[in-house]
């Protein structure tokens, strides 16, 4: 296996474990505090990246600030709050709807019609989300609040990706990630005194470091390096593997025992993703 593909495999594992790591973190501290510490620990890296990159114009800085608020203060915060209110397995599968939403929003922004197979995929995935929302695990149910928060997170993050992609014409992707992350971190740090205290634990510290340094910092770095050597379609295909890793890890680390309805919903969601990502003749 060549180095770029080995890096992609490592990245798939790192990102696949992000939701279980978040679940462990919210069991040790308030969810908002976990999100804040995650991005605060990653901020120095992004500050260096922003400093050495091109200087955005005032207009671009405004757009980057909006991206940061949308992607982090809405998307990532809603995700950590959703994970706190549902099982890690359910949260993992629901987060897998992000690529579908990206496809829909990108088609809308670019005025491209979705093919029939894509519409079928969207309907399958939507049905899967509905099945999962009604499925209950052995701990007393996923909770509609958790499902709703995960869907809000997916929509916000998908919009972030699409709008960020539009900015790659004037700024490198690494600079967009750096500046938007810094702007998104500022409101969290300002609000930190009102987030409640947490007793330091090894699990909590490990979750923060994993999410901040591995998922956010190392993950972004590996992703950009991989994209220089691996076709985007192959890199994007790892989205099918990450939910599987997350569900297996949730069962092993957290003891998730899920109802049959969950597995039926997961099959529909992942099948829908596969159809939406399918390539074919245009027209």
CA-CA distance, 90 to 264, in Å (whole number)?
A: 12
Q: Which pLDDT belongs to residue 137?
A: 47
CA-CA distance, 281 to 263, in Å (whole number)?
A: 32
User: Does position 139 have pLDDT exceeding 60, yes or no?
Assistant: no
Listed in sequence order, the residues at least 6 apart from 119 whose beta carbon sits closer than 8 Å to its beta carbon are: none
Answer whether 235's CB lies under 8 Å from 63's CB.
Answer: no
Reported as type and span, the H/E element at residue 155 is helix 144-167
pLDDT digits (tens, 9 = 90+) for 213-225: 999 999 888 887 8
Q: Residue for token digits 């569900």?
A: 247
**Residue 184: alpha-carbon gap to chain centroid:** 15
Q: Which pLDDT belongs to residue 282?
A: 39
> What tokens appear for 140 in the block?
């007393």
* DSSP at 29: S
Answer whether 142's CB lies under 8 Å from 256's CB.
Answer: no
pLDDT digits (tens, 9 = 90+) for 69-125: 999 999 999 999 999 988 888 888 888 778 778 777 877 765 656 677 777 877 887
- Coil vs helix vs strand at 126: helix
């Amino acid at each position: 296996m060549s180095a770029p593909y080995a890096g992609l495999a490592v990245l798939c594992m790192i990102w696949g474990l992000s939701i279980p790591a978040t679940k462990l973190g919210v069991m040790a501290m308030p969810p908002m505090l976990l999100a804040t510490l995650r991005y605060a620990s990653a901020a120095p890296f992004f500050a260096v990246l922003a400093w050495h990159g091109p200087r955005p114009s005032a207009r671009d800085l405004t757009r980057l600030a909006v991206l940061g608020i949308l992607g982090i203060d809405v998307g990532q915060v809603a995700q950590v709050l959703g994970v706190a209110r549902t099982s890690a397995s359910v949260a993992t599968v629901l987060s897998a709807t992000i690529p579908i939403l990206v496809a829909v929003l990108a088609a809308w922004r670019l005025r491209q019609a979705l093919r029939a197979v894509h519409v079928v995929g969207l309907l399958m995935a939507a049905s899967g989300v509905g099945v999962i929302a009604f499925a209950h695990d052995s701990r007393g149910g996923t909770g509609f609040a958790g499902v709703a928060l995960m869907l809000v997170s997916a929509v916000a993050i998908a919009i972030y990706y699409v709008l960020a992609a539009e900015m790659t014409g004037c700024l490198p992707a690494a600079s967009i990630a750096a500046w938007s992350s810094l702007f998104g971190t500022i409101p969290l740090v300002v609000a930190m005194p009102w987030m409640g205290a947490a007793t330091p634990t090894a699990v909590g510290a490990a979750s923060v470091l994993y999410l901040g340094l591995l998922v956010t910092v190392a993950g972004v770095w590996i992703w950009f390096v991989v994209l220089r050597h691996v076709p985007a379609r192959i890199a994007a295909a790892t989205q099918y593997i990450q939910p599987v890793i997350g569900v297996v890890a949730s069962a092993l680390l957290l003891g998730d025992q899920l109802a049959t309805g969950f597995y039926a919903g997961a099959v529909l969601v992942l099948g829908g993703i596969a159809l939406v990502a399918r390539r074919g003749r245009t027209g």
